[in-house]
Each structure stands twice: as structure tokens, then as C-alpha cells.
Structure 1
Amino acid sequence: MKTFGLFGGAIALALALSSAPAAAQKDPPITLDTHVDIPFAYMHEARFDFGKPTPMQVDLDKMRRGGLDAVFFIVYVDQGPLTPAGYAHAVAQAKRKYDDIDLMLKTYPNDIRLATTPEQVRANKAAGKLSAMIGVENGYSLGHDIKNLDIAYKRGARYVGLAHMGNNDLCTSSTPEADLGDTPLPEYGLTDFGRAVVKRDNELGIMVDVSHSSDICVREVLALSTAPVIASHSSARALDPHPRNLSDDLLRAIAAKGGVIQAVAVGEFIKLDPARDMAIKALQAQVAKQAGDKSFDSEKHEYLPAYIDGMKRIDAVFPPATVDEYVAHIKHMVQVAGIDHVGIASDFDGGGGLGGWSDATQTRNLTAALRKAGFSDDGIAKIWGGNLLRVWDDVTKRATAGHAG
């Protein structure tokens, strides 16, 4: 196992630097966030236009002001029925999100560029441009057709998450859903289709993402994959026993295969706070009812004044998890997996956000918190993007399909 990444007298220097204003501190070479969600109305409504002032946690101005260089924008679909109609709907939803990301890139070519290789991320940074990458959350969007994985690659996807909330046709989820007919305990790990997806990912040079997957699925992926594996947004189960987080054994196993675990900045996965969770669920039910809907829809309801004001009241009574508590997860993960195997994922616009790192404008606050926790500049550079870029490069080099890159 690698050491914690502290370099003698650098500890005192890092602590001294942490007292300076965040914006005055040295930025890492590249700040890369592996998980930022987009709404289905992305780029089609002014409030979701990347280049305009928006209520979103990530947009052009917020990235520029906060010093966030590169983002994996997420092609996400809800888990639905494993039927021809369900698969067709999922494929259509995924296509819409690919199209929306394309529209954003075409609308703002002087500000942000697609990156499909680590080299392009570095070149964009050198040219003063932001980088947009694409990750897939929930392999259900492949529509149970391996050909759609090749299409995803051609559209720019460079990691594919096998599952989300609820079991699917690739593998079991860390959070099975009774509404979908799931049993509490996994009856399987990877399916035959899931194994085919992992193998084709390896051939194409797509990173296999095990976040949201059940423990048994993660272990089977690690045994099967011929390339390093990532967890695009998962924190430490040892500090917060949520099933979405990863055990120390799994952290070590992913690292042993050369992979990287991107700690996720979702309060629920950083510290247990049942009272806060209950208050939020009650608010969501109330806001949905006021809007005339049966259930809460984040895209429809999260930006309503009633929800925004309600969350302010909840935050005052039940303070959210803080950036320092998030860094405690990162520190633990580094101690377990090694400094070369941990990274950062905000899950902004998908439930992420902490006290002190509530949107992309506060990116430097996280860097300052890492320094305060004793990480060296070299360690911070690895965590903020270097590790993910190394793994991505390794996965690309191992590809055998002949057109990776």
C-alpha cells in the first residue's frame, strides 16, 4: 500500500498555506470533477443554459470563478422496467442527454471543448479552455444492446456506470428497489450481459465504473476486467455505513487493480443525519403536493422558491455535512487505498453539495481544506485529477478495438 503522501516539512508549510485566502493559494495543475449531472431540459431553457447565469451548481461562470477545469457531464437515466418498452425509453433519454451536451459544446466552442483523451484535457487547460467529458450513469441506458455501447463511445462516453438505484440487466445495485421487484439481498452479481459490457468496455478503452453497484458485482467486475476500474462517485463506508459507500476491503481491491475511487460530496454519504434526511423528505413531499404532483421530481421541483426556502430552513436547524468532513473521507480513503488511488466527485446538480463547497465557485475551498488536512501540493494534484487521468490513460492504452482515443 502506498504511503499517505506527506513530505516531512511540507506538512507545516501546507498548514501555514491553509490560513491564506483560498483564492490566493496555488491551484492544482488540473482540477477534474468526475460527476456533474445535467437536467433533461439542459440548454433548452435559459435557466439550464451552461453559458448564462443559472441556478445550477455548475455553469460556465461558476467554473471560471472557482477554478474548476474539467467536468464529466453525466448521461443518466432512471432505472425502469426490464422490458422492450423500458429499454427503448432509456435509450431515447440517453440520446437526448448526449444531444444536449453536444449543443452546449457547439454553443460555447471558445470556452469549453470535448475531451475524449487525457491529452485533450491537458491541451484544453494549456489553451485556457475548459474540458467537458462524458460519463454514463446506469448501464440500463444501453437498452440491453451491446451495439449501444459502441455508439456511446463514439458520442464521447469514457466511463460507464453499470447500475444506479435498483437492479438492472447488467448487475445488482447497492440500493435495490422494492418498487422494481428487487429483493433486499443480491441474488446475482454480474449478468451475462453485464460481463459482455465489461469486456467491450475494456476493448474500447472505456473506464468501467462500479459506483452504485452491489459489493458482489464490484468483486466480479474486478475479477473480470483486464483494465483498472473506477468508482466515479463513492465515499468511505467506514466513516458512513451507507451501502452506496465502499468498504475498506473494496477500496483496497480497486487500488490493487490500479484503479481510482472518486470520493463523492453528497451529505448523506458523508455523515449520518436521520433527522435531516426526514426533514428533507417531508419538504419534498410538501413541495410536490403544492405543485400538484404525486412525487418529488428534482428537475421540476428543486429550483422552486418553496423548495429553496425550505432547504435554507432545514440547513439552519440541521447543518449540512461540511467540506472538512468530506476531506476526512478522502483522508481515510488515502490511508486505506494509497495516495495514487483517490479522486474527487461533486455530484453537483444531482444531490451533491456541502457546507463550504456548495457549487463550482467554491472549488478552491476544497483545495484549501485538503491543505489544512496536511496534504502536500503533489498529493493534492493527484487527488484533484492526476490519478483519474493516469487511470484513464492506462485504460486507453490497454484498449484493443483499434479506435480508442
Structure 2
Amino acid sequence: MADLQDDSPITTEAGEGDGLPDDPFPQEPTFLERAHTLLAAHPVADGYSGLPWALRHLPWYDLELGEAAVDTDVPRLREGHVGALFWSLHLPEGPGGGRAMTATLEQLDLVHSVIEAHPEGLRLVRTAGQIIDARNHGRVAVLLGPAHATALDDSLRILRILHTLGLRVLTLAGTAWAGEKGLTRFGEEAVREMNRLGVLADVSGASPATARRALALSKVPVLCTRSAARALRPHPANLSDELLAALGSAKGLCMVPLTAEQTGPTVHDVADHLDHVRDVAGPECVGLSGTYDSGAVHPRDLADASRYPHLIAELLRRGWSETELALLTWGNVQRVLRSADFTARAAQHRREASNAKIAELDNS
């Protein structure tokens, strides 16, 4: 009897050799994978970093290689998709004291030294266009500010010197001319001169009267570099719904801080504040403020500058659109800077530099 021959065809796995995709039902990307993809196109513009002061006390550091002693270094900025960040010139001991101007100038000198020492990772910029150029060349853009307005003493000439050195944001809170009753005549002149130069006003921590007057007076959007929603957490620097609505109407920008004290101990708490600010002020008026290296305690899962994708993943999970997220991370800061640059160019043709002093306006 002849051996039986198996004439059955050789079988293959489903999809193999049939010209179809290997997996006809590919798995949906996770929220974290989607967050990384979105941030690759629309990186984070971080509204507040305390890195200069943190570096001041280190005997040696290398931000391009990585630095465990701080929350921020170039590898973590890249992992977190941070394309730009504002380096605070604030003084941890507060804005008072007779050395405010000296300390601010020392901070500026330190910032320039740090950036010069890390040319492959960092680039000092002033304008929205320069941010784009830095990103195209693989550098993290660094903008200078906020600084305390006490550094001006009583002279707008000092404001112009600080602007020449690169300052882009000035915090009004804590000065004699921006108090509980609002801006004095000198304070109003200071805001006008800031508009002429392209220096943005920061009203985080300022009184409601000062914030409202700055919003009404300024020809460019006003920033709140470290403010969340007071309706959710009654921190003094957080904004009431009334002020959030006014900020939205003026096309300003509320940059929500990633701190346990102001927003809560978890990434969900931070997302709650972002939801609230978006709903009250509008999606064009909300941004992010890492506040890393400022001495603040950060929520779980947001311990350093590399963790932004986890926050964006939570917002995707909540239904934020890609358009809203692109504004939150990158677009809103670009809009504000472009507005300030355009307004300054126009104002410098119409308005002479102001040399006003407090004694001339507020004591007359």
C-alpha cells in the first residue's frame, strides 16, 4: 500500500503573506503615548522656573549632562518636552530690603553665565520668533523674568536697563505703587512704560484692585505667572472667578502652578484647576507654570520638569481637545509674547521714554 502523502497546503498565521496589515485591529495608543506625540509638536512653555537661585548655591553643576541636585536639567526638559521656560529673578527672601536691585542684577549675571556654559542645550531669547528659532535648532529657549518690581526702586530708567539685559516679565506685587488700593499714578506710568518696552506685567500675588487696574490699563495681555483657581483652593495668590473672567475678557494668561500648596497634592487636583480656569477664562487664557526649583512641594507624579506628559495624559483622559492642549502648552504664551512685541514696536514710534519718579507723581 502506497504511503499516504499529505497534500494539504502549508498554513500561515492570519495576515501573513496576504498583503494585509499584521494586526487588522491595531491597539489604540494610550493617553500617555498620545501626550508624548502632542507635546512633540506643541512643547511646553513653562511660565516659572526658580533654577537660577537653586544653582547659586551649588559648587558645581552640569545641566546638559544632568544634575540630580535640582528639579530641572536639559535631559529632563527634553523628556518633558519643555521648549521654553521663564527663569524667575525673584528673591526667595522676598521683594523687600535695600538690595533688591543689586540682587536682581546678580541674578541676571548668573543667568547669562549659566546659559553661556550650556550652549548645546539652552539659548537666551527675547521674542516669540527667537523661541521658534531656538526650538528649530534643538535648544530650550530661556526668557528672563519675572523679576520683582522693587528692583526698580523709584526709577523707570532702571526698568529700561533691566529690559536691555533681557527682562521680559515684571511682578507688580509688593511695591508701594501697586498696593491694596491699586496702582498709584507712578504705577500707572510704570505699566505704560512696560508696554512701550514689551515687558509683561505679572499680577500674581497682587491685590484685586491692582490686578483690575492693570488689566484695564495695559495695552498688552497681563500675566498671572503663578495663580490657580481660588474657588477650588483659597490660596492668596489664586484668582477669584471674577478676576479669572476679567483676565479672560482682556486676553490675559493665567499660568497654573504645579504646587501642592496652590493646586493640591495630586495630578488630578492640578487638572481640576486647569479645567476650572479654562471654563471661566477660556482656553486661550490658561497656561502652565512648573515652579520647579522654587522651594515648592509638587504634586505626586509631577516631581520634576520631565513629568509634563503625565499631566497632559490626564487632560486627554478628561476630554481636552488637541487644539485646547496646543494652546495650553505653547500657543497662548506665543500669542502673548507676539502681542507684546507688536505693541512695543508701535508704541516706541508714538511715545517718548518715561523718566517719571515716585516723588514727582505720587508725592506731588
TM-score grouping bracket, smaller chain normalisation: 0.7 to 0.9
1:33 corresponds, among 36, 40, 46, to 46
Give 1:38 deviation, angstroms. 2.8
Q: Residue 227 of structure 1 aligns with which residue?
A: 220
SS in 2 for 1:354: coil
1:401 corresponds, among 345, 348, 352, to 348
**Residue pair 2:31, 2:316 contacting (<8 A) in 1 also:** no
SS in 2 for 1:213: coil
1:360 corresponds, among 282, 293, 305, to 305
Q: Residue 67 of structure 2 aligns with which residue?
A: 53
* In the alignment, structure 1 residue 119 sits paired with structure 2 residue 129: yes
Percent identical:
28
SS in 2 for 1:69: strand
Give 1:192 deviation, angstroms. 3.0
SS in 1 for 2:142: strand
Amino acid at match of 2:50: D
**Structure 1 stretches of 5 or more lacking a match?**
1-15, 173-185, 272-320
Q: Residue 155 of structure 2 aligns with which residue?
A: 145
* In the alignment, structure 1 residue 209 sits paired with structure 2 residue 202: yes
Q: What is the 5 A alignment of 1:255-334?
A: 255-271=248-264, 321-334=265-278
CA offset digits 1:205-244 (Å, max 9, x no partner): 1111111111111011112212221111100011112221
* In the alignment, structure 1 residue 110 sits paired with structure 2 residue 120: yes
Q: Residue 21 of structure 2 aligns with which residue?
A: none
What is the TM-score of this pair, normalised by structure 1? 0.74
Residues 59/46 of structure 1: CA separation in 2 closer, same or farther (3 Å cut): farther
* In the alignment, structure 1 residue 171 sits paired with structure 2 residue 116: no
SS in 1 for 2:86: strand
2:246 corresponds, among 237, 247, 253, to 253
SS in 2 for 1:227: coil
Residues 120/34 of structure 1: CA separation in 2 closer, same or farther (3 Å cut): same
Counterpart CA distance in 1 for 2:321 and 2:309 is 15
**Residue pair 1:144, 1:169 contacting (<8 A) in 2 also:** no
SS in 2 for 1:157: coil
**Residue pair 2:52, 2:89 contacting (<8 A) in 1 also:** no
Give 1:17 deviation, angstroms. 4.8
Counterpart CA distance in 2 for 1:43 and 1:138 is 18
Structure whose CA Rg is larger: 2
Counterpart CA distance in 1 for 2:162 and 2:217 is 21
SS in 1 for 2:146: strand
What is the TM-score of this pair, normalised by structure 2? 0.81
SS in 2 for 1:263: strand
**Structure 2 stretches of 5 or more lacking a match?**
1-27, 350-364
Q: List, as ranges, runs of 4+ consecutive aligned residues in structure 1 with deviation greater than 6 Å.
A: none
Counterpart CA distance in 2 for 1:352 and 1:103 is 28
Q: Which has the higher contact order (CA 8 A, sep 6+)?
A: 1
Q: Residue 332 of structure 2 aligns with which residue?
A: 387
Counterpart CA distance in 2 for 1:20 and 1:221 is 39
SS in 2 for 1:347: coil
Residues 225/352 of structure 1: CA separation in 2 closer, same or farther (3 Å cut): farther
Q: Residue 193 of structure 2 aligns with which residue?
A: 200
* In the alignment, structure 1 residue 335 sits paired with structure 2 residue 279: yes
**Residue pair 2:52, 2:87 contacting (<8 A) in 1 also:** no
Amino acid at match of 1:365: H
Q: Residue 241 of structure 1 aligns with which residue?
A: 234
SS in 2 for 1:76: coil
2:165 corresponds, among 131, 147, 155, to 155
Q: Residue 378 of structure 1 aligns with which residue?
A: 323
Amino acid at match of 2:38: K
Counterpart CA distance in 1 for 2:95 and 2:288 is 29
1:71 corresponds, among 47, 68, 85, to 85
Counterpart CA distance in 1 for 2:111 and 2:128 is 19
Counterpart CA distance in 2 for 1:380 and 1:231 is 19
**Residue pair 1:43, 1:49 contacting (<8 A) in 2 also:** no
Q: Residue 179 of structure 1 aligns with which residue?
A: none
Residues 62/395 of structure 1: CA separation in 2 closer, same or farther (3 Å cut): same
Give 1:42 deviation, angstroms. 2.5
CA offset digits 1:77-134 (Å, max 9, x no partner): 24355xxxx34x1111001110111001111112211110011111111111111111
Q: Residue 18 of structure 2 aligns with which residue?
A: none
SS in 1 for 2:168: strand
Residues 229/41 of structure 1: CA separation in 2 closer, same or farther (3 Å cut): closer
Residues matched between the structures, number: 317
1:134 corresponds, among 140, 144, 156, to 144
Counterpart CA distance in 2 for 1:153 and 1:361 is 30
Residues 216/45 of structure 1: CA separation in 2 closer, same or farther (3 Å cut): same
Give 1:327 deviation, angstroms. 0.9
Amino acid at match of 1:134: L
Amino acid at match of 1:129: R
Give 1:343 deviation, angstroms. 0.5
